[in-house]
Structure 1
Amino acid sequence: MTANPILLQKKYSRVIECFAKQQGLSLDAALDFFYHSQVYQLIRDGVSDMHCMSDAYLAEELKQEYEEKVPVNEVVKEKTK
């Protein structure tokens, strides 16, 4: 199933904001990570109706992906900027 593109854009912005707060990242860093993430690809492609999941759930999925992809010392460095 595909979602309305305008509604998806709003969903993306809420998820990015939630993820940024959760991880202590700037919105720019969170935005960059989101658009290069597997989570974004799944939502965009309509896989498993990911766009129907809550913003908090998707932010948590992003957090898990972030922790797998970004080394711990990079996370500390980004948070201190």
Structure 2
Amino acid sequence: MNANPILLQKKYSRVIECFAGRMNISLDDALEFFYHSEVYQLMRDGVSDMHCMSDEYLAEELKQEYETKQVVK
């Protein structure tokens, strides 16, 4: 299923803001991470209707991905 592009952009901004708050990082850093994340790719491609998940759920998924990538570095 494909989401309306305008609604999807609004969803991205809410998720990025929620993620930044959870991680206590700047919106710029959150934005940079988001657009290079697997979560973004899944949302963008409509995989498993990820774009239908709550903002908080997606921010938590981003947090887990962020923490995993920090450990690898």
Cα distance in 2, alignment partners of residues 10 and 45 from structure 1: 16
RMSD over aligned CA atoms reads: 1.4
Residue 9 of structure 2 aligns with which residue?
9
Number of aligned positions between the proteins: 73
Gapped runs of 5+ residues in structure 1? 75-81
Residue identity over aligned pairs, in percent, reads 79
Residue equivalent to 1:77: none
Q: Which residue in the other structure is 1:45 paired with?
A: 45
Letter in 2 for 1:5: P
User: TM-score, with normalisation over the residues of structure 2?
Assistant: 0.96
How far apart, CA to CA, are the structure 2 residues paired with 1:29 and 1:48?
26
Which structure has the bigger radius of gyration? 1
The one-letter code sitting in structure 1 at the alignment partner of 2:17 is E
Q: Is structure 2 residue 33 aligned with structure 1 residue 25?
A: no
List 4+ stretches of structure 1 deviating above 6 A: none
Cα deviation 1:11-56 (Å, max 9, x = unaligned): 0000000000000000000000000000000000000000000000
Q: Does 1:59 align with 2:68?
A: no
For 2:70 and 2:40, locate their aligned partners in 1 and report how far apart those are by CA, in whole Å.
17
* AA partner of residue 6 (structure 1): I
TM-score, structure 1 normalization: 0.87
